[in-house]
Amino acid sequence: MLQFLNPAYLVALVGLAIPIAIHLWSRKAGKRIRIGSISLLQHAPSKQMRSIRLHELALLLLRCLLLSLLVLLIAQPQWISSQPKKQAGWILISPQIITQLNINTSLQQTIDTLRQNGYEIRLFESGFTKIETSTISEKKILQSNTSYWSLLKEAENQLPSGTHVYAITEENLQAFQGKRPSTDLNLQWITVPTPDTSNIWLSDAFVDKTDSLRIQIGVSQPEGNAFQTLTRKKPPAPITVSEMGLPAMKITPTNGRFTIALSGTDQVIQADTSTQTISILYEQETSEDASYVSSAIQAITEFTRRKINLVQVKQASQIPANTNWLFWLSSQPIPTQWQANVKNGMHLLQYASSEKFISTQTWLQLREYSTIPIYLNRISEADPEGDSIWESGTGKPVLTQEQQEKGSILRLYTRFHPQWNGLVWDASFAETLLQLLHKNSWEPQFRSSDKYDLRMISLQQLLPLQTQAPTKLEETRQLTNLHIPLWILIVLVLVVERWISERKRTLAENQKKNPAQQVVS
């Protein structure tokens, strides 16, 4: 079956009228006959213009064909051919499972049986590279961080609905990120049990508000993650400490800073000795707002034990120069100095500048921070700027963040006040602010736990939602571009047209040079 990628260009076939019009308009040259005298000839009107006839029909057809081929070329034709299926389906094998096939005989037997039934073995990674059984265990596979759920949607775009697919993967939770998809593939998922092991890593280290060194150690097992915190006085010289069940750690002080190294690994982190200065600028109208934020930060200080210096001021001139976080709860314009400090690493949270606020009856969705909707009564009509962090129940941004070099500007399109929303009275308020502070100040070290995460996911949790698949296709469609054959035809037609045209021109010139002698008596 023939299809065109740009069928609109077929309108250009109307241009076939041009060569036809040229041929009809042209006059055929008359024959020159030499006679002795015209005295006996009778006068007769010319019949040349009274009848319109096509001359040189072969050239006309060739030129029309040439134009038609050019139009078809522009329309980009493709030939769709149906071919019987050569395989029953796919076997998608995780790159992490490849190296285990030699020791997992039952899994190897399952793959061999499916392959004999016509299944193709492909890597469960972007592109789905086809591999052969004979070399499957010899391949050196680069591990991918792409979620298997995302890869499954990519495979769904390449396979007909109802295609049989066997997915063979590990049970690691980190391999399944995002929203669980739905699929119309005939999917069977096989998980390989995670070895009974554990990972230990240095999650965090800092000097707390009592001037003690706190070291947070993460332990990951298939059943879940756990964290232990060790508290030690700041050592004046290098020491090695150990706790039951944990590897030894070497603490090395250097000019007031501390380096912690985990024995038997290459893990080394620097303890955070800094003090976070959080300033709250407010005015009379927002004094209650400031008290709610201040209470939440004091709770954060007690919970985290970090060194946090909280300052509340009413004038911009009173803000400490070393402020790391600035809550600008005022309608005063922000001085240029503090806007410039954002690029140097300061984080600024301000109320969105707008004189118009609308009443709304919706809720505040804090994503992973709170599973219970929080009422939202009033919201600013200012245009959102930056990436959305919190949203209303209608999808309107409530808190946005705009990154500016080392720092960022966060804009709140409501207020920290119970008349505006229920956030400040919600139990998750302090945790919500902690997540913002943690994400922008302390998260980089903490996020390193992802590569040590061994938590597993059950088969019931990882299986995509199965949709009703259409009737399975017995044939696959193959698209063939026809631009190369068209170019060949265009060249051939052009050569033939030029050859015929040149031959006729040569014959006409020869007749002029050697005219036939015809005498009429």
pLDDT score at 88: 72
26 or 78: which carries more pLDDT confidence?
78
Q: Which residues is 70 bridged to in the sheet? A: none
Cβ pair 92, 122 in contact under 8 A:
yes
Give the pair of three-digit tokens for residue 341. 């400090």
Q: If you average pLDDT over every residue of the chain, what do you get? A: 82
Residue 277, pLDDT score? 95
According to the CATH classification, is domain 276-444 in 3.40.50.300? no
Q: 154: which 2 tokens?
A: 């990519």
Mean pLDDT of all residues in 33-37: 66
Range of lowest pLDDT (137-146, 207-216, 316-325):
137-146
User: In terms of pTM, does the model score above 0.85?
Assistant: no
3-state DSSP assignment of residue 90 = strand
Residue 446: is its pLDDT beyond 70? Answer: no
Q: What does the pLDDT look like over 187-216, one tens digit per residue?
A: 999 988 877 788 899 988 999 999 999 998
CA atoms within 13 A on the CB side of 124: 26
Q: Is the per-residue pLDDT at 18 higher than 80?
A: no
Considering only 18-22, 133-137, 317-321, 487-491, which range has the smallest mean pLDDT? 133-137
Identity of the residue numbered 300: I
Residue written as token pair 């069928």: 7
Ordered by start, the domain boundaries in the chain are: 90-194+456-466, 199-271, 276-444
CA distances from 475 to 154, 155, 293, 329 (A): 21, 18, 64, 65
Write down the pLDDT at residue 521.
38
For residue 519, is pLDDT > 50? no
Taking only the tens place, the pLDDT of each residue in 36-47 is 666 666 666 555
Phi, psi of 285, rounded to the nearest 5 degrees: -70, -30
pLDDT value at 15 more than 80? no
